[in-house]
Amino acid sequence: NGDSASSPKKPFVPTQADYQKVYDAVAARLADETDYDDGSYGPVLVRLAWHASGTYDKETGTGGSNGATMRFAPESDHGANAGLKTARDFLDPIKAQFPWITYSDLWTLAGACAIQELGGPTIPWRPGREDRDVAACTPDGRLPDAAKDQRHIRDIFSRMGFDDREMVALIGAHALGRCHTDRSGFDGPWNFSPTVFTNEFYRLLAEENWIQKKWNGPKQFTDKTTGTLMMLPTDMALMKDKGFKKHVERYAKDSDVFFKEFSDVFVKLLELGVPFKTEDRFVFKTSE
């Protein structure tokens, strides 16, 4: 997409309109490629953006979305990142079409795009991430382990700089997508509309009767009513902890509040540790 580039001597400086073109290309590809999972690559793009960002450590300033080091082993082989090659490969044609965008900007932009295209809130986004080499790969163990409890959630997300309210607001993104036995070992979607961004995660968590699933796989929970939905041990932990539960109940009751608070915290997640040169964020236009 060199059409807005001027003379070969001057470096191409993309504008908001150029990033909107990238957004539109991701959105178009999402609309075209419906032969995957529940009909959309959107959820796995959200997961890629989050796993690229969620390695951030506020003490050392290492990790985070700046770098896109998940392109390389060992980070690509970390157990938590199983299945994310699908998302990275999905974006390769977009990278080929817009070679000027960094992988780190592209992955986070695609996550914001997926949330908007799946009916979620707008996710204001800004560019400025630079790709780094294999030496910047983060050590294994920075992403959360779904088999654990509320203490682990607090350990992992306070290392990134989030408070209780923000942790609960983030986890509502599990309204999207599903677990795969060949990736995490867990199985199933969290709700009946895994390709639509809603506050259903909280409503079901608060209102359904969740029982332990009887199977040979890792410990997970299923809804007593249909036996088709799932919750991870970390999801269930939100109801066991008073500090978390009050926010689950707030978001279960009020979708608008959830959308607003989720947007703020997801923007923060995608920006952790990035040395931006600009304060201004772009609000991308969602496709029809």
For the annotated catalytic residues, the residue numbers are 51, 190
Residue identified by tokens 């986004």 is 125
| Tokens encoding 92 | 């390769």
Q: How far is the CB of 130 from ligand HIF (least distance, A)?
A: 23
Q: Find the residue with minimal CB distance to ligand HIF.
A: 177
Q: Which is nearer to ligand HIF, 106 or 179 (CB)?
A: 179
| 121 prior amide bond cis, ω within 30 | no
What is residue 139's three-state secondary structure?
Answer: coil
- Contacts of residue 181, defined as CB under 8 A and 6 or more positions apart, other chains included, come to 187, 217
End-to-end CA distance of the chain: 23
| CA distance linking residue 61 with residue 150, whole number of Å | 24
User: With respect to ligand HIF, which residue has the nearer C-beta, 43 or 67?
Assistant: 43
Closest distance to ligand HIF from the beta carbon of 191 (Å): 12
Nearer to ligand HIF, 144 or 161 (CB): 144
Q: How far is the CB of 48 from ligand HIF (least distance, A)?
A: 9
Dihedral (CA of 21, 195, 64, 137) sign: negative
- How far is the C-alpha of 46 from the C-alpha of 22, rounded, in Å? 16
Q: Which is nearer to ligand HIF, 18 or 43 (CB)?
A: 43
Q: Which amino acid is at 17?
A: A
Binding site for ligand HIF (CB under 6 A): 43-44, 46-47, 50, 83, 144, 146, 153, 170-171, 173-174, 176-180, 183-184, 186, 232, 234
Neighbour tally for 272: CB within 10 Å: 20
Least Å from the CB of residue 84 to ligand HIF: 8
Q: Which CB, 66 or 220, lies closer to ligand HIF? A: 220
Shortest distance in whole angstroms from residue 207 CB to ligand HIF: 19
Other CB atoms within a 10 A radius of the CB of residue 231 amount to 25
